[in-house]
């Protein structure tokens, strides 16, 4: 694939250099992406700054153009989805689904009516003003959907943006920039690409007033530290180690399918995937077997292959990390009820893996694996399971599985995280609901009016009473 350019000030621009992009289904380089460089970054920031005064003024126009952007993205899905599959690895139908998600988010923010906020006595108005230029940094698991989570509320609120995708998946975002270039005024959305140091240059840059970041907790902390230097605002969507707690009245056969896909969708490379399952001793063996049966039946193949349900892991470091965590668990006495090994073919393919016999204190339970491997942990006492579920620095989402909704809700109330689903996982990921993590899983929220407010600063306007 060739011809990928950055979008700066409404024009296609090359980088100062270029870097390789690898197809995870083959492990081979298949394209090059522009490497932005500091001067181009300055141009992008200057363009975003220059576009801000006009863009912030006309909300009606912003809403209309976001709607047009949604339509254009939808129309471009046939071109973008194969690029997403090539660089990310996900099956083509999932690539289409991701682009459809981005379209939904753009539409939601275009349509969202925001109430006027006035003081109780009506004498003052509280207005949410845009901040200015937003630097947006995205990861490689859902490059387009997560970019739209930032673009839609930030632009709707009246900000302009410089967006940088992950160096593992730059191409679809660059192609989306090209599509939106035809619609948005020059400078409103600049899309650049480069290796990790470009992210650090963006967070240290004097122009942006806000950093919106999705990625690892380690990098998120670096972003927060850099932003503190000149008090840039930050929203951080970071990692998770989401627990699913199965109660003793659940039916393993009934919940296994939903639980399995809550852990393995996108090959487990989801911040809010189920990353550890706590199951009561009485149901343990049945649940492990029901999950393992599903893991064994899944078709893992290149994202371009007809019928592929899971693709490869996105990149070599992640592939090695997953293999290392599974190997460590097996060395410490866990058993692979399904999988447990890489798949013997080129690319970063790994068998969907269900681990039994691992417990807290094993790395794959304590850390975020972010891949197709799931430990199932036995518990005797529900209180102890809740304590173990909370016993982590993460706090993104969780789930409780039981046919008794009141009982499940009582357990949910004990969990320290940003979202709990009952008999599902992550069901609250919707454009209209706030999404964010407690503890080291993040700072601030995305989505809904709350997400948009994060791209604003409050200003009180008091009328002349005389
Ligand atoms: O993430 P990084 P990586 C987790 C997952 C995975 C781990 C590492 O556990 O194993 O992160 O993945 C940019 N200043 N998640 O290394 O480094 C980088 O270029 C500013 C969870 O890919 O966090 C990319 O655009 N930006 C996660 C983005 O940060 C910097 C999704 C994310 O990269 C930077 C992905 C810096 N100093 C991985 N260094 C989720 N929450 O869903 C890098 N970047």
Span 184-241, pLDDT tens digits: 999 999 999 999 999 999 999 999 999 999 999 999 999 999 999 999 999 999 999 9
Give the rounded percent of residues in the chain with a pLDDT score beyond 90: 99
CA of 180 to the centre of ligand 1 (A): 25
- H-type helices in 298-377, by residue range? 316-331, 363-366
189-191: strand order across its sheet: 11-13, 6-8, 189-191, 160-164, 133-137, 210-214, 233-237, 442-443
240 CA: nearest ligand 1 atom? 41
Q: In this predicted structure, what is the pLDDT of residue 213? A: 98
Say how many CA atoms lie within 13 Å of 123 toward its Cβ: 4
Mean pLDDT of 127-152: 98
CA-nearest residue for atom 27, ligand 1, is 215
Q: In this predicted structure, what is the pLDDT of residue 4? A: 97
Concerning whether 36 is annotated as a catalytic residue, the answer is no
Q: If you ran DSSP here, which 8-state letter would residue 169 be given?
A: S
b/e code 372-402 from CB counts within 10 Å (16+ = b): bbbbbbbbeebeebbebbbebebbbbbbbbb
Q: Which pLDDT band holds residue 463 (cuts at 50, 70, 90)?
A: confident
Using CB distances shorter than 6 Å, the residues near ligand 1 are: 137-141, 164, 166-167, 196, 199-200, 203, 214-216, 219, 222-223, 237-239, 271, 318, 321, 368, 370
CA of 438 to the centre of ligand 1 (A): 18
CA of 140 to the centre of ligand 1 (A): 8
Q: Hey, what are 306's tokens?
A: 């007809």
CA-nearest residue for atom 4, ligand 1, is 216
Mean pLDDT of 43-53: 99
Look up the pTM and report it: 0.98
Mean pLDDT of 360-389: 98
271 CA: nearest ligand 1 atom? 42
Q: If you ran DSSP here, which 8-state letter would residue 106 be given?
A: H
219 CA: nearest ligand 1 atom? 23
Please tell me which residue in 98, 178, 237, 446 is annotated as part of the active site: 237
Mean pLDDT of 312-332: 98
Q: Which pLDDT band holds residue 465 (cuts at 50, 70, 90)?
A: low
In the beta sheet, which residues pair with residue 161? 134, 189
CA of 409 to the centre of ligand 1 (A): 33
357, pLDDT greater than 70: yes
CA-nearest residue for atom 36, ligand 1, is 200
270 CA: nearest ligand 1 atom? 42
Please tell me which residue in 271, 368, 417, 446 is annotated as part of the active site: 271
Give the rounded percent of residues in the chain with a pLDDT score beyond 70: 100
Mutate to test the pocket of ligand 1, among 36, 88, 171, 215 (most ligand atoms within 8 A of CB): 215
168 CA: nearest ligand 1 atom? 22
CA of 386 to the centre of ligand 1 (A): 29
- H-type helices in 134-216, by residue range? 143-157, 171-181, 196-204
> How confident is the prediction for the chain on average, in pLDDT?
97
CA-nearest residue for atom 30, ligand 1, is 199
DSSP labels, 407-438: HHHHHHTT--SSEEEESSSSTT-STTS-B--S
Q: Which pLDDT band holds residue 464 (cuts at 50, 70, 90)?
A: confident
Mean pLDDT of 88-98: 98
CA of 433 to the centre of ligand 1 (A): 24
Mean pLDDT of 33-56: 98
Mutate to test the pocket of ligand 1, among 36, 135, 139 (most ligand atoms within 8 A of CB): 139
CA of 138 to the centre of ligand 1 (A): 8
Q: Hey, what are 184's tokens?
A: 């948005």
Concerning whether 367 is annotated as a catalytic residue, the answer is no
Mean pLDDT of 376-390: 98
CA-nearest residue for atom 17, ligand 1, is 219
């Amino acid at each position: 694939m060739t011809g990928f350019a950055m979008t700066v000030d409404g024009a296609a621009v090359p980088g100062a250099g270029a870097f390789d992009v690898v197809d995870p289904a083959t492990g081979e380089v298949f394209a090059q992406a522009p490497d932005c460089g500091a001067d181009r970054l300055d141009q992008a920031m200057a363009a975003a700054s220059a576009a801000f005064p006009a863009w912030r003024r006309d909300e009606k126009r912003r809403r209309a153009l976001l709607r047009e952007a949604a339509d254009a993205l939808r129309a471009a899905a046939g071109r973008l989805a194969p690029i997403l599959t090539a660089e990310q690895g996900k099956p083509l139908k999932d690539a289409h689904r991701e682009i459809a998600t981005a379209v939904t988010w753009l539409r939601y923010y275009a349509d969202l009516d925001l109430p006027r906020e006035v003081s109780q006595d009506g004498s003052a108005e509280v207005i949410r003003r845009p901040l200015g230029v937003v630097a947006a940094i995205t990861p490689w698991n859902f490059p387009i959907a997560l970019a739209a989570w930032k673009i839609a509320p930030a632009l709707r609120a009246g900000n302009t943006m410089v967006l940088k995708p992950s160096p593992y998946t730059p191409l679809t975002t660059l192609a989306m920039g090209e599509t939106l270039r035809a619609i948005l005024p020059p400078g409103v959305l600049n899309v650049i690409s480069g290796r990790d140091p470009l992210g650090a240059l963006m967070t240290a840059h004097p122009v942006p007033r806000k950093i919106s970041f999705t990625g690892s907790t380690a990098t998120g902390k670096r972003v927060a530290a850099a932003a503190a230097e000149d008090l840039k605002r930050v929203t951080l969507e970071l990692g998770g180690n989401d627990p699913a707690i199965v109660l003793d009245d659940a039916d393993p056969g009934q919940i296994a399918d939903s639980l399995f896909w809550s852990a393995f969708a996108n090959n487990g490379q989801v911040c809010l995937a189920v990353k550890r399952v706590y199951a009561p001793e009485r149901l343990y063996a049945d649940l492990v077997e029901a999950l393992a049966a599903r893991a064994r039946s899944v078709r893992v193949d290149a994202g371009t292959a007809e019928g592929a349900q899971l693709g490869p892991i996105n990149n070599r470091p992640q592939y090695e990390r997953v293999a290392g965590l599974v190997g460590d668990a097996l060395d410490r006495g866990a058993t692979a009820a399904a999988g447990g090994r890489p798949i013997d073919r080129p690319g970063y393919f790994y068998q969907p893996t269900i681990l039994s016999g691992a417990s807290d204190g094993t790395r794959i339970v304590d850390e975020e694996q972010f891949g197709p491997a799931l430990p199932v942990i036995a518990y005797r006492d529900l209180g102890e399971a809740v304590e173990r579920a909370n016993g982590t620095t993460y706090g993104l989402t969780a789930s409780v599985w039981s046919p008794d909704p009141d009982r499940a809700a009582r357990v949910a109330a004990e969990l320290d995280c940003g979202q709990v689903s009952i008999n599902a996982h992550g069901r609250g990921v919707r454009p209209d609901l706030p999404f964010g993590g407690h503890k080291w899983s993040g700072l601030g929220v995305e989505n809904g009016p709350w997400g948009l407010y994060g791209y604003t600063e409050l200003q009180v306007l008091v009328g002349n009473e005389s």
